[in-house]
Amino acid sequence: MGKKPTHGASGADWHNAKGLLTHTTSRDEGLQCALVPDARHDSDQIAVVYDKGDTPPEITIRAVSGSVHTVMADGIAVAVVASASGPAPSADDVLLVERSR
């Protein structure tokens, strides 16, 4: 019997979601986003990956509502962040990673 879908996030659900990062291959191109877990400080980070030789993307943050924000890379939504506590994310919080070919 398969797992029942869960409604609402729990610590275990969040832990499993962090393990779902896409595995990149040498054929991947363009902007990608990844979650960089930080279990020690409870402050996961967002990384935006761009192609080697390209200009690093401009990162902006758009408030969606209250504690929900969209991270944009060159105007493209790459992540949605919802936080029950703490400050809103800033562009300086986003790691930029150049992908080698």
Per-residue pLDDT of 22-42, as tens digits, reads: 554 446 778 888 877 776 766
For residue 22, which of 13, 32, 7, 11 has the smallest C-alpha distance? 32
* Residue 87 clears pLDDT 60, i.e. is over it: yes
pTM beyond 0.85: no
Question: Residue 78: which pLDDT band, with cuts at 50, 70 and 90?
Answer: very high
CA distance to 7, 60, 71, per residue, from 45 (Å): 24, 15, 12
Give pLDDT, residue 17. Answer: 43
